[in-house]
Amino acid sequence: MNNIKIIQMLEEEGVELTDDINQAIYILSDGRLISGMFDCGIRGVDHRFIEFLFEDVNRDSENFWDEVLNRACLVMYVPETKTILIREKQNITDKQLEMIDKLKKQKHKVEYF
């Protein structure tokens, strides 16, 4: 799934992009950030909301994260703990790697799950 389609679907659901890593919960393949839809400092959406991108993926399935993250080429981010979450065999683009390296230099953590 390409970023144009992902962004279009996000907009249809009322989910925005952000330039602020402290407001982001996903990093797109091109380095743009998907907002966690924060209001008064509280995140409005959970990471699992991303299931809406796929009709054939269920949030309760065993391979949910492998399917979603690889098919949409997303990297998860938890702004509350400044943690980048990566699957063991996840596809990561050069732009995402650049962002991850930049965040690591700013003392953000990387966790594999």
Confidence (pLDDT) at 40: 86
Range of the domain at 81: 3-112
Mean pLDDT throughout 15-24?
96
3-state helix, strand, coil in the chain (%, to 5): 35, 20, 45
| Rounded CA separation 7/15 (Å) | 9
- The DSSP code sequence of 15-68 is --EES-GGGEEEE-TTS-EEE---BTTB----GGGGGGG-TT--TTSTTHHHHH
* pLDDT at residue 30 is higher than 90: yes
Cα 23 → chain centroid:
11
Q: What integer pLDDT is reported at residue 32 of this predicted model?
A: 98
Per mean pLDDT, which range of 24-28, 50-54, 57-61, 85-89 is the poorest?
A: 57-61
Query: What's the whole-model pTM score?
Result: 0.92
Single-letter amino acid code for the residue at 65: W
Name the phi and psi angles at 78, rounded to 5.
Answer: -115, 100
State what percent of residues in the chain have pLDDT above 90: 76
Average pLDDT in the 39-55 region?
A: 88
Total domains, the chain: 1
